[in-house]
Amino acid sequence: MTISAVDLFCGAGGLTHGLIDANIKVVAGFDIDKSCCYAYEENNKGAEFFHKDVASLTAEDLLKLYPENSIKLLAGCAPCQPFSTYSQGREAKSDKKWPLLYEFSRLIKEVAPELVTMENVPDVTKHEVYHDFVRDLKELGYNIWADRVYCPDYGMPQVRKRHVLLASKIGKIELIQPTHDSESYKTVRDTIGKLPAISAGEQHPDDPLHISAGLSELNLRRIRKSKQGGTWHDWPEGLRAACHTKDSGKTYSGVYARMRWDKPSPTMTTQCFGYGNGRFGHPVQDRAISLREAALLQTFPKKYKFISTKSKVQLSPIGKMIGNAVPVKLGKVIGESLQKHLAIEG
């Protein structure tokens, strides 16, 4: 039997594309961000995008999408802002996105899929909503594997850490074993080293997504003084920002910094196109990484299309799509784990 999947919180299609790469049929994706529709459907043939709030979905909405006589997979990465370290200082329960994992759990109860996968930031495990989610799965009779995944261990070129959960009513399940170690990790050079050089603020004529944010004269002077893997401490005093002199700013050494060629990149975020937003400076060129480079570091294929050819490339909306995505390769690892599980238990 084949696995058919519905992807909740699908975004631009990172998880969906990875599942398809693992020969899982993805029939639909749901997201409240309508701007993701083009990227999702253009790159994932056969998967239909639905602009709907997951909280409004019913079992009937989903069950009619699954082909007959297939094994149902319900997949989802509920928005992680409530659990992220980037949300520190905020009351998580006041965030309207907080209940979405409960909505995911509700749909699992109503749809009763044979397989479930959930991916999120590692800190999700520190919150009651996650433990309620796991308890509900156990009460429904699912076998569960859940652990923190370090993306370089599976050939992804960024030091992203994610919490992955697999659940099955068919039998015992687990993620496939790591495919890489510290001696064979994919690096920034491996991933973006052959792309043509561009300047800050330039867009390559052959690839509209190979576009870099402009830099002020001050930031150009700063990046020219930045070393691979270095910090703003490498700059002359006159280039340092006022916030760097404060005690609260002294620990943020990873902003206004260059990546290293021969290491995995930092975690891609929704602001990864901005030089001042993290260690997002190109290793040798005097600019922040381009949108295409960010997408490649998220393991999207080079030809993945995020907007139509008629649309203007805008850094922030596309950066949000890229940074919010599940790395495609992680989606494939999850899919391969499910396929191996089915082969063993089926």
pLDDT the model gives residue 83: 44
- Hey, which of 65-79, 91-105, 156-170, 221-235 has the most confident mean pLDDT? 156-170
Domain membership of residue 89 (yes or no) is: yes
Q: How confident is the model at residue 244 (pLDDT cuts 50, 70, 90)?
A: low
* Residue 206: both structure tokens together: 């052959």
Sole residue written with tokens 């330039």: 202
| Between residues 134 and 246, the one the model is more confident about | 134
Domain membership of residue 31 (yes or no) is: yes
Q: How confident is the model at residue 189 (pLDDT cuts 50, 70, 90)?
A: very high
pLDDT the model gives residue 89: 40
pLDDT for residue 220 is more than 70: yes
Q: How confident is the model at residue 340 (pLDDT cuts 50, 70, 90)?
A: very high
**Residue 173 to residues 108, 230, 312, 314: CA-CA distances in angstroms?**
17, 42, 44, 42
Count how many domains the chain has. 1
Query: Comparing 13-17, 222-226, 237-241, 277-281, which segment has the lowest mean pLDDT?
Result: 237-241
Q: How confident is the model at residue 38 (pLDDT cuts 50, 70, 90)?
A: very high
pLDDT tens column, 250-278: 555 678 999 999 999 999 999 999 999 99
pLDDT the model gives residue 246: 59
Residues marked active site are found at 80
Looking at residues 43-63, what average pLDDT do you find? 96
Domain membership of residue 231 (yes or no) is: no
Q: How confident is the model at residue 94 (pLDDT cuts 50, 70, 90)?
A: very low
pLDDT the model gives residue 255: 82
| Three state DSSP letters for the chain | CCEEEEEECCCCCHHHHHHHHCCCEEEEEEECCHHHHHHHHHHCCCCEEEECCHHHCCHHHHHCCCCCCCEEEEEECCCCHHHCHHHCCCCHHHCCCCCHHHHHHHHHHHHCCCEEEEEECHHHHHCHHHHHHHHHHHHCCCEEEEEEEEHHHHCCCECCEEEEEEEECCCCCCCCCCCCCCCCCCCHHHHHCCCCCCCCCCECCCCCCCECCCCCHHHHHHHHCCCECCCHHHCCHHHCCHHHHCCCCCCCCCCCCECCCCCCECCCCCCCCCHHHCCCECCCCCCECCHHHHHHHCCCCCCCCCCCCCCCCCHHHHHHHHHHCCCHHHHHHHHHHHHHHHHHHC
Domain membership of residue 220 (yes or no) is: no
Domain membership of residue 87 (yes or no) is: yes
Looking at residues 97-104, what average pLDDT do you find? 82
Domain holding 121, by residue range, is 3-183+326-345
Domain membership of residue 126 (yes or no) is: yes
Domain membership of residue 275 (yes or no) is: no
**Residue 255 to residues 41, 224, 271, 296: CA-CA distances in angstroms?**
35, 15, 12, 21
Domain membership of residue 265 (yes or no) is: no
pLDDT for residue 95 is more than 50: no
Looking at residues 175-189, what average pLDDT do you find? 98
CATH number for the domain harbouring residue 126:
3.40.50.150
